[in-house]
Amino acid sequence: LSGGLPLARSNQLLPRAAACGDFFSVFQSFSGGLFAVGLAEEGRLGLGHLENQPHPATLPLPQGIKISRIACGTRHCVLIGRDQSVWGWGDNSRGQLGLGPSEVGKTLSIAVEVG
């Protein structure tokens, strides 16, 4: 990428999988950690706050969740655990997190179990 800066390589940050939305990225490391970086509006980073992150920040997940897949939309993310659990965070203005009609329009700044 033109003008990009390489991340410092460490075992903790070696990416195994990544997903991107508008102005943010989420990636899983080979060590099993989940990290978010970029614009935090609408809770899209899942960090529990709305502060932009210029460097990778550890995304808090419930104890024992092992990640199978990660996907991001424009302003939200969903991950599937190896146990087939589904977790989501970010903008739910159109019900895109699948939380049901009472949750449409809400923004979630931390991961919640979807199903």
Question: Looking at the domain assignment, is residue 1 inside a domain?
Answer: no
Band of pLDDT at residue 1, cut at 50, 70 and 90: very low
Phi, then psi, of 78 in degrees rounded to 5: -135, 140
What's the rounded Cα separation, in Å, for the pair 16 and 32? Answer: 9
Gap between the terminal Cα atoms of the chain: 37
Instruction: Please check whether residue 13 is in contact with residue 29, taking contact to mean a CB–CB distance below 8 angstroms.
Output: yes
Take residue 111 and report the two structure tokens written for it.
Answer: 């991961």
Give the pLDDT of residue 12: 59
Residue 69 lies in a domain: yes
pLDDT tens digits for range 66-104? 999 999 999 999 999 999 999 999 998 888 888 877 777
Res 115: pLDDT:
64
Q: How many domains does the chain have?
A: 1
C-alpha 26/C-alpha 29 separation (Å) is 10
The domain of 55 spans 15-113
| Signed CA dihedral, 106, 109, 112, 115: sign only | positive
Q: Is 107 a domain residue?
A: yes
Residue 4, domain member (yes or no): no
Instruction: Inform me whether the pLDDT recorded for 25 exceeds 60.
Output: yes
Report which of residues 4 and 29 the model is more confident about: 29
- Whether 56 maps to a domain, the answer reads yes
